[in-house]
Amino acid sequence: MLRKLFKFHGGVKPQTNKTQSTTEPIASVPLPDRLVIPLHQAVGGHPRPLVQPGDHVLKGQRIGGADGNLSSAVHASTSGIVRDVAQAVMPHTSGLTTLSVIIEPDGEDRWCELEKVNYRSTPPDELRDFLRDAGVVGLGGAVFPSYAKLKPGKEGKLKTLVINGAECEPFITCDDMLMRERASDMLKGIVAMRYMLQAEEVLIGIEDNKPEAVASVQAAIKASGETGIEAVAIPTRYPAGGAKQLIRVLTGIEVPHGRRSTDFGVQCFNVGTAFSIFEALEHGRPLISRLVTVAGNVTAPRNYDVLIGTPMDHLVRLAGPRPDTDRYIMGGPMMGVRMPGFDVPVVKATNCVLVGSATMFPAPPPEMPCIRCGECAKACPADLAPFEMYWFSRSKNFGKAQEYHLFDCIECGCCSFVCPSHIPLVDYFRFSKSEIWSREREKESADGARDRFEFKNFRQEREKQEKAEKLAAKAAATREKVATEGAATPAAADGEAAPKPKPSGDDAKRALIEAAMEKARQQKAQVAPKNTDHLAPDVEADIAAIDARRNAAPARAADTPDA
């Protein structure tokens, strides 16, 4: 029985250019001279470094610890010496740097002690923590920590688990080759995911231009004996690999703006993510490598199993770059971003290194004014109005751009692909998003500063009030004591012992003077006698006179009557 399929809005059909890189099996990559492993490779918090320069690390050893509620660990891709923990250029078109661990391989490629997990006898929460520490993230491009998505939602279970094998972007074939060569292991990872999500059914969506992958996955399902899992060939149309678009095609559910698929009992994962979950649970291997397609301006396009942190030029040399190569693009021609250099590292988000040249990717025609033809809206798979978002983004009216659901844009590039005016619409949308995020961060910072200032004022007022209350309580206690003593004085007339009379003012003054004189005598007795043997006779006489006057002064003060 054939499954009923649905259509999503928009989409385009660019030239696929996929056959060139699927003629050879997946190949391994020799160890490079150094590995540059960024600590921040996934959505969420920045992992904290766990190693220092000079440390010797083993393959699979954790070098970056997950930090925060949404973070994922990072591991050493091979054994070697940590040469530095420093800022290094990240694989992003901005050319910015990020904190990275630089490892010099020792050539032994020796694993650390690995911990395996039996997912069938382990609670799902413990499995999720294990995957977080294994650094497993989404390998379809979003690099979202997988443990955070492997939660079934409010109802405690899902209806449908969707596995994304569409791989719609031109040139990219790493998922295709994974399904052809490692379908059975991938399927074991899918079964473990199904257990954690308590999903009723599993649908694996694969575009129908990958017949070998479809056949391989169907054969693996049949051999496993698992029920409720189906591999479905879907029509080839870009971007069928988008999560919302694939869910729409397979289930007919259209996830509306601002909602999550789990609200409708559906969750979507990439086939590469499923394989990495199998590797982590079955063999205890953290995510330290991934399949990468090398295609474009090379003589032998191919897919490679690449260690995270491998420089891209080290990888591309295996495919034979042509002399006129002038750029590397991470990803495909529709959604990929140009790299700031040739030696930036392969990271968890790297599914393809597209080698380009001026001939293969000529400069775009000059941008012309928008004629409001509406072709971009017809092609938009997210059912947005790109021409409206363009006008507001260009005029920096970001509030209005958000009203047109700017953040629902998946940046697939369909609008730019069909625009007759050659407007780089996606660039405008990325600019608007970055500006909005920047302003939100500034607002959060200002709000935090204001909150701290207001709390400081509140604390000072509270301390002042507490001090006033303490003084008032002390004064009240003093008044009560005085009142109590005043009430007790008349009782002496009834036969009680009268208080001792206080000394008069003259007696008290004389006692103070005598005490001061006694103290002065004691201090003088403690002072060593002066050695006057070397003084002249007249000087000795002057000193004796001064001492006599000093000794006579307290006595005169005692005999002087008060004024």
In order, the DSSP letters of 100-143 are: EEEEEE-S---B-------GGGS-HHHHHHHHHHTT-B-TTTT-
CA–CA distance from 336 to each of 21, 246, 303, 418 (Å)? 18, 20, 17, 17
Residues 344 and 439 in one domain: no
Q: Dig out the tokens for 428 from the structure.
A: 């405008």
Structural domain ending residue among the three candidates 352, 384, 415: 352
Q: Dig out the tokens for 531 from the structure.
A: 């050695």
pLDDT of residue 501: 52
Q: Is residue 509 part of a domain?
A: no
d(CA 450, CA 405): 30
Q: Dig out the tokens for 121 from the structure.
A: 């006898």
Q: Which residues, in sequence order, are CB contacts of 202 under 8 Å at separation 6+? A: 160, 161, 162, 163, 190, 194, 228, 229, 230
Supply angle C-alpha 525, 526, 529, rounded to 5: 70
Residues 304 and 446 in one domain: no
Cβ count near 245 (within 10 Å): 30
pLDDT of residue 141: 80
Smallest Cα–Cα separation from 270: which of 128, 138, 131? 138
Asked whether 171 and 295 are in contact (CB, 8 A), the reply is: yes
Residues 97 and 174 in one domain: yes
CA–CA distance from 110 to each of 56, 65, 76, 83, 523 (Å)? 11, 21, 11, 18, 80
Give the strand pairing for 325-330 and 352-357: antiparallel
Q: Which domain holds residue 82?
A: 19-352
The dihedrals phi and psi of 361, each to the nearest 5 degrees, come to -125, 80
Residues 297 and 429 in one domain: no
Residues 43 and 114 in one domain: yes
Q: What are the start-end ranges of the H helices in 157-236? A: 174-181, 183-197, 211-224
Q: Long-range contact list for 20-23, CB < 8 A, 24+ apart?
A: 20/295, 20/301, 21/171, 21/173, 21/293, 21/294, 21/295, 21/301, 21/302, 21/303, 22/173, 22/176, 22/177, 22/303
Q: Which residues, in sequence order, are CB contacts of 262 under 8 Å at separation 6+? A: 151, 152, 153, 158
3-state secondary structure of 487: helix
pLDDT of residue 53: 96
d(CA 465, CA 457): 12
Q: Is residue 544 part of a domain?
A: no
Asked whether 122 and 138 are in contact (CB, 8 A), the reply is: no
DSSP string across 72-101: --EE-SSSEEEEEEEEEE-SSTT--EEEEE
Residues 433 and 344 in one domain: no
d(CA 395, CA 408): 20
Q: Dig out the tokens for 495 from the structure.
A: 């036969």
d(CA 137, CA 272): 10
Tally the domains of the chain: 2
Residues 319 and 374 in one domain: no
Q: Is residue 553 part of a domain?
A: no
Asked whether 71 and 56 are in contact (CB, 8 A), the reply is: no
Residues 188 and 318 in one domain: yes
Which pTM does this prediction carry? 0.79
> Count of residues for the chain?
563
Supply angle C-alpha 67, 269, 338, rounded to 5: 75
Q: Is residue 186 part of a domain?
A: yes
Q: Dig out the tokens for 188 from the structure.
A: 């074991």
Residues 483 and 386 in one domain: yes
Structural domain ending residue among the three candidates 469, 489, 509: 489
Q: Is residue 344 part of a domain?
A: yes
Q: What is the pLDDT along the chain (563 residues), one digit of tens a residue?
A: 578 899 999 999 999 999 999 999 999 999 999 999 999 998 888 899 999 999 999 999 999 998 877 889 999 999 999 999 999 999 998 889 999 999 999 999 999 999 889 888 899 999 999 999 999 999 988 899 999 999 887 778 899 999 999 999 999 999 999 999 999 999 999 999 999 999 999 999 999 999 999 999 999 999 999 999 999 999 999 999 999 999 999 999 998 887 888 889 999 999 999 999 999 999 999 999 999 999 999 999 999 999 999 999 999 999 999 999 999 999 999 999 999 999 999 999 999 999 999 999 998 899 999 999 999 999 999 999 999 999 999 999 999 999 999 999 999 999 999 999 999 999 999 999 999 988 988 888 898 899 999 999 999 999 988 888 888 888 888 888 788 877 766 544 454 555 555 555 566 666 667 777 777 777 766 654 555 555 566 666 777 777 777 666 655 555 555 54
Q: Is residue 508 part of a domain?
A: no
Burial class (CB in 10 A: 0-12, 13-18, 19+), 468: exposed
pLDDT of residue 490: 57
Residues 295 and 422 in one domain: no
CA–CA distance from 120 to each of 34, 134, 282 (Å)? 39, 18, 11
pLDDT of residue 3: 83
pLDDT of residue 493: 47
> What is the residue whose two structure tokens read 């569409």?
166
pLDDT of residue 527: 56
Residues 75 and 224 in one domain: yes
Residues 342 and 416 in one domain: no
Q: 3-state DSSP helix/strand/coil percent for the chain, to nearest 5?
A: 40, 20, 40
Structural domain ending residue among the three candidates 287, 317, 352: 352
Supply angle C-alpha 269, 333, 380, rounded to 5: 65
Smallest Cα–Cα separation from 317: which of 24, 34, 108, 32? 32
